[in-house]
Chains A and B, each alone.
Chain A
Amino acid sequence: MKRNPIYIYPLSLLACLLLVMTSCEKKDYVLPTAKDVLQNDAIKRTLGPNIVNDTIEFVYAMGILPSKGKLVSAEVEASIAGATGTFLEHRSYYTNTSGVDVPVEIGNPSVNDKTKTTVTFTKDTSAAALRYTYIVPEEARGKTVSFTFTARSSNGETVNYKLGPYNVSKMDIKHRLTVSNANNAYISIEDMAVYNDAGAAANANKIDLVYLYRTYTTSTFTHALVAPAADPQYLPDITLPAGVNRNTKIQRAFNLQDYDLAFLQFGIYIDDRDFQELDLTNAPNYAINLKAEAGIWVETADKKYRAYVYVNSINNGAKSAVISIKRYAL
């Protein structure tokens, strides 16, 4: 059938006009109607791996129309009871115009009963956002943990919100150990500790690294972390305590400012998987000329542990350094 263009053009024009008219139609804003039942919501605040003895933080928000009732209690049940220090805030926070979080007390301090942490409201409160800090217990290592948040209101309503499961890392973490030349110079990955000469002699079979600081005119040595069994040229003028002889594998790393160790702004996290995939087969047993914010990957001689030793800071004058350790048991 042959179409007559006389009809096609006006029809297209009309369609365009219709489109323009409808797209410009003004719609009045209408306030959303609040639900008339008890409501809740929760988020996990912390990022990165969940590490034993470290914290996982959440915020639990709940609200009910004042005409329907008030909040009576808030409760969190973890699938594995949190370690000592686990708590649910009894203060609700709001952010003021200066961006500062301001607390408003709404109840009694939380009470822990096995897996449950409860706050009972003492103020007439219809809405609150409570922070929950879970201290990861030893029991959760390598497992998963879930959380059920529950709110109750005076009109008998109960509402809950589930979060998780979250994997708990097998890693351990140790912050800010000070090592110094010829004093606290012996590092044990197994103990996550630093020893002096006497301590090293008493724990000889656990010493994995020796810290030393040297300056030479011909090369840059400065701060070093070296295995006791390394070539003596990397342990100049050092007499090791009796029995300190482990051959640790070491690999230097730079620009790996793990947030848990460095607390810098970088959102980098070393997780279990990094240690699982780490290959130090051909790694040497020394790392010299270390800088602040650098680090080393380590595998102990008995292959029981892999670790990342991060250099938080160095002090040339005091011939010392501050280190932090993340450790993974193989």
Chain B
Amino acid sequence: MRKHINITGALLLMAFVWTACKKDNPIDEDGLLITSRAECYVSSFELLGTDFVTVRTKTATIDTTAKTVSVTVMFGTDLKNLYPQFTLAQDCKLDPKITGRTDFSDLANPREYTVVSGNRQVRKTYKVLITVQPR
């Protein structure tokens, strides 16, 4: 009986040591998992007004070659206070982060957002081109 207990104890100890020494999965400075994925693109884009209702007139056009997001917004949209929402390829992240209302009113100098791949090796910078619908 005592022999069985000793064997079980030794096995448990080995399992503990093995898991304790296993290398941690790498994470980046934001605490996000760094994976092996190299995909890096924007798959969809949304713009919300201060009332959290979309200001788009139609679906945004995303050009992954030219790295542009083109969106037409309704006449009268308050361009200084918009909430952009990006959908990215798996494991990607966005730089700069979106933390609240964003000013898109300088149409001559479109805002730029960089998509960083899951392996953090690929970076692609997209321009958000906004067109305001005529009255």
Contact = CB atoms under 8 A, between A and B. Distances in A.
Interface of A: 216, 218-221, 224, 233-234, 236, 251-255, 282-284, 286-289, 294
Given A219-B135, A253-B50, A286 B76 contact: yes
27 contacts: A218-B75, A218-B134, A218-B135, A219-B76, A219-B134, A219-B135, A220-B74, A220-B75, A221-B76, A221-B135, A224-B76, A233-B135, A252-B49, A252-B50, A252-B78, A253-B50, A253-B51, A254-B52, A282-B80, A282-B81, A283-B78, A284-B80, A284-B81, A286-B76, A287-B76, A288-B75, A294-B51
Interface in B55-84: 74-76, 78, 80-81
A284 B78 contact: yes
B5 interface: no
Interface of chain B, main secondary structure: loop
A282 B100 CA distance: 13
Contacts of A294: 51
Given A218-B134, A221-B75, A251-B81, A282 B103 contact: yes
Interface string B106-135: 000000000000000000000000000111
Contacts of B76: 219, 221, 224, 234, 286-289
Interface in B14-66: 49-53
Given A252-B50, A254-B51, A282-B81, 5 more contacts: A218-B75, A220-B75, A221-B135, A255-B51, A287-B76
A219 B51 contact: no
Interface of B: 49-53, 74-76, 78, 80-81, 101, 103, 133-135
B110 to A, nearest CB: 19
Contacts of B78: 251-252, 283-284
Most buried by B among A218, A251, A284, A289: A284
Nearest to A214: B135
A120 B76 CA distance: 62
A289 B49 contact: no
Contacts of B74: 219-220, 289
B51 A252 contact: yes
Contacts of B135: 216, 218-219, 221, 233, 236
A221 B74 CA distance: 9
A219 B75 contact: yes
The 5 A-B pairs at the shortest CB distance, nearest first, are namely A219-B75, A254-B51, A288-B76, A252-B51, A284-B78
Contacts of A234: 76
